Amino acid sequence: MIDRFDGEYFFLSNFSASPFRINYVLFPTMEHYFQANKADNQNDYLHIAYAHAPGEAKRLGRKIQLRPDWEKIKDNVMLTGLRKKFEDPELRSLLLATGDEELVEGNYWGDTYWGVCNGVGQNKLGKLLMQVREEIKNNA
């Protein structure tokens, strides 16, 4: 089991550099993409997309007016971004190299939706990463 997305597995983190383009916008990391998609208006969307660092994108994403359908679409937003992130051949290769390991986004900041903290959590990010890994394997 891979239970932390740091060190050699930092590439699995939404904070890792993984530039990709969607709808003419270049997102430097998954965090930029995910947080920008929370926005209820174009100005906030672009402000977050072009934030200096993923931590700044996350902070900005906590201060904006959320789009009304956010809770319904957030998992699909994450999945769309992960699929795009792992189109990169190097990142795809690293993801495939995790084999059949269970991927768990262990954290200390209390995120029990996307990850697991102190043994508690839904690990949605880990599950979506494993889904993308299987999709890549099946399409290879």
SS (H, E, C) 94-108: HHHCCCCCCECCECC
Q: Residue 111: what pLDDT?
A: 95
Amino acid residing at 92 = R
Q: Could you say which of 1.10.10.10, 1.10.357.40, 3.40.1710.10, 2.60.40.10 is the CATH number of the domain covering 7-139?
A: 1.10.357.40
CA 78 from chain centre, in angstroms, equals 6
Q: Residue 131: what pLDDT?
A: 98
Amino acid residing at 12 = L
Q: Residue 85: what pLDDT?
A: 98
Which residues in the chain land under pLDDT 70? 140
Q: Of all residues in the chain, what percent carry a pLDDT higher than 90?
A: 98
Q: Look up the pTM and report it.
A: 0.95
Q: Residue 129: what pLDDT?
A: 98
Q: Residue 106: what pLDDT?
A: 96
Domain regions of the chain by residue span: 7-139
Q: Residue 7: what pLDDT?
A: 97
Q: Is 25 helix (H, G, I), strand (E, B) or coil?
A: strand
- Tell me whether residue 97 is exposed, middle or buried, using C-beta atoms within 10 angstroms of its C-beta: 0 to 12, 13 to 18, 19 or more: exposed
CA 89 from chain centre, in angstroms, equals 17
Which candidate, 38, 29, 85, 27, places its Cα nearest to that of 60?
38
